[in-house]
Every structure is written in structure tokens, then in C-alpha cells.
Amino acid sequence: MTEIIYWELAKHLDKLPGGFPPTESGAEIRVLQHLFTPEEASLATYLTLLGETSRVVARRAGLSVAEVDDRLQEMARKGLIYCDYKEDGPDEYMAMPWVIGIYEAQVGRLTPELLHLHYALPDGSTGNG
């Protein structure tokens, strides 16, 4: 069941600065489902706060470098992770916390549905009541 990967991603994000604690309503899972495909959610659980190349992430995730590189580039474009674009070497990718990170990266992409989902979180931003 794909919903499990969103629970894993929520737990992963909750371990980052600012947290992303669970809610009784599951609002945090609906937010993640809106932003991440199941494949992106799964890959995001392998990212840390340290910049790493797609090769390192691919090894950890057990996926091909080409697949991981494409997916990480798309996730960075969507504001789901951070990419440190290197002029003299491979780009490095890292996890972003929910706040200040993923949510702020969505400002140019806000839709009524995302805002509705976001405000279903207890305090409207981090899930902290």
C-alpha cells in the first residue's frame, strides 16, 4: 500500500529541525500526498541534512544512479528537497524540513487545495498544536 511510504516520510520529516508531528486526523499525510508522488516520497526518506550526490543516495536507496538523479532533479525543481548546484562537480542533494523549507518553497505553487490541506494541520504550519 502506497500510503505507508507517506507515513515513513512524515516520520523522517519529523526527525528534522522544526519537526512534522503526526496528527489525529492524518492531515500531514494528505499534505505529503499532494506534494510528493509515491516514488518521490520513498526517495526522500533516504536524504539527510548533509549534501550528497545522486550516486551516494542511489547506493543507499538501492536504485540506479540515472533514475535517482532524474528524480532528485525533479524534486528539487518542485521545491521538495534542496539542491546545491555545483559548477565544478556533481550536484549535491539534501532533505529540507517542512518549515523553513518545503512549505516556503511552495509559495509560488500554492493552490487552494494545498492551502486547505496546510491549514488542516493543528497550527496551520508545522503540525504543532
pLDDT in tens, 80-128: 999 999 999 999 999 999 988 998 999 888 888 888 888 887 664 544 4
| Separation CA 49–CA 77 (nearest Å) | 18
More confident residue, 78 or 100: 78
pTM of the model: 0.88
3-state helix, strand, coil split of the chain in percent (to 5) is 55, 5, 40
| Separation CA 2–CA 39 (nearest Å) | 9
DSSP state of 123: T
pLDDT in tens, 36-58: 999 999 999 999 999 999 999 99
Type and span of the H or E element at 7: helix 3-14
| Domains assigned to the chain | 3-119 (1.10.10.10)
